[in-house]
Amino acid sequence: MKNRLIMLEGLPGTGKSTNSFKLYEQLILGGKKVRWIHEVSQPHPVLFFTESCMTKEEYRDFKKKYPEVAALLDEVAEVRETTVGIDQETVGRRAQDAKEQAWYQELLKYDAFPTSLDRYEFRALEKWAAFARNAAKDEDTIFILDSSFFQYQIFTYLLKAASYERLEEFVSKIAECIEPLNPLLIYLYREHTEDSIAFMKEQRGEQALVSTWERDKGEPYYQSKQKDVTAFYDFLKDYAKSAESLFETLKFDKRKIEISANNWKAYEDEMLGLLEIPRIEIPAYKAQEGTFVNAEHGLSFAIKDNVMKDPEGVQRHLSPKSQDEFFVEGIPTILKFFEEDSTRLLGQQIIPQWTETGTVYTREKNEE
């Protein structure tokens, strides 16, 4: 395939993760090696969610101060050119009672956010450059990246009330980093931003939008805005304008897909056509049923008729990859059943603990 990096962007609620999943599924069924980096993959190779970021000197000093966790930190650290990233959630899970320890509390003081834009740009470009270098070495893998190239950057810059020109300059530097991967950008949009806002209200509930506004209302962008959720609607309109302008500046492969009709199969076909790959029919296999438990973490999920009710109560369709492996709808997780009553999680971990790669769940005996 020509494009080693496929990026899906658009306003919240435009189907970035949904369509990333479909591409992930189809590419793997077609025999490709694929890594889908979900918006909330953990640790995330280009974004900052739960990362503590130190200089290399700070990292050395930290390990000297807390030698009891030095080996653990080295195990999870992402070492870049001048900085080191430590995912807080990962180390918190691997060390017993970590969040009560002095070393963990000090680690939190190095949280990558909040920070100035100058510092963010420096750290973020190091992450993008490291990702691009590592991806270039993995020549057989196709990478899918959603909500990272536009969404995270636009949110960051708009909330800081930074100029569009500064945003465009930064995005152009990211584009330079990833150019060797022959990226393809797919931008999903509705003709009217108001339609996307209405869709989000319908699908997520207005309270979800209110919660986002309440989370961010202290940021510079909102200081001259109305003091209710309608300010977030204005934010989304400004987001759309920025994204449209950024799209026009890009020199690599790109395509806009208008999704107002919600004809998702047609959009999938268009994306597959862009990649010049045929649609593969999903094989007809049925997943093992019952309640599957991981006693160590106190987590469980239930499966019936190829539908999983995950540990957070979300229902996710399971689509077969093979007789023993099943894609989990909407996330880069694959269930691999083995023996008669166990399943191991493969793929890419996201923030919820239950998705940790390699975790084994065993079916409760009374449900055999």
Q: Is residue 173 part of a domain?
A: yes
Phi, psi of 96 (to 5 degrees): -65, 130
Q: Are residues 268 and 357 in the same domain?
A: no
Q: Is residue 113 part of a domain?
A: no
Q: Are residues 35 and 9 in the same domain?
A: yes
Measure the CA–CA gap between 9 and 147, rounded to whole angstroms: 5
Helix (H) or strand (E) holding 118: helix 117-137
Q: Are residues 29 and 151 in the same domain?
A: yes
Q: Is residue 115 part of a domain?
A: no
What 8-state DSSP symbol labels residue 39? T
Q: Tell me, what CATH number does 184's domain have?
A: 3.40.50.300
| One-letter amino acid for residue 366 of the chain | N
Q: For the purposes of burial, counting CB atoms within 10 Å of the CB of 25, is it exposed (0-12), middle (13-18) or buried (19 or more)?
A: buried
Structural domains in the chain (count): 3
Tell me the two tokens of residue 330: 């909407």
Measure the CA–CA gap between 38 and 337, rounded to whole angstroms: 23
Measure the CA–CA gap between 147 and 12, rounded to whole angstroms: 9
Quote the domain boundaries for residue 352.
290-367
Q: Are residues 94 and 125 in the same domain?
A: no
Q: Are residues 199 and 301 in the same domain?
A: no
Q: Is residue 217 part of a domain?
A: yes
* pTM beyond 0.85, yes or no: yes
Q: Are residues 145 and 294 in the same domain?
A: no
Q: pLDDT of the chain along its 368 residues, tens only?
A: 889 999 999 999 999 999 999 999 999 999 999 999 999 999 999 999 899 999 999 999 999 999 999 999 999 999 999 999 999 999 998 898 998 999 999 999 999 987 899 999 999 999 999 999 999 999 999 999 999 999 999 999 999 999 999 999 999 999 999 999 999 999 999 999 999 999 999 989 999 999 999 999 999 999 999 999 999 999 999 999 999 999 999 999 999 999 999 899 999 999 999 999 999 999 999 999 999 999 999 999 999 999 999 999 999 999 999 999 999 999 999 999 999 899 999 999 999 999 999 999 999 987 55
Tell me the two tokens of residue 217: 């209302």
Q: Of 67, 83, 108, at which residue does a domain stop? A: 108
Q: Is residue 350 part of a domain?
A: yes
Q: Hey, how many other C-beta atoms are within 10 angstroms of the C-beta on 366?
A: 7
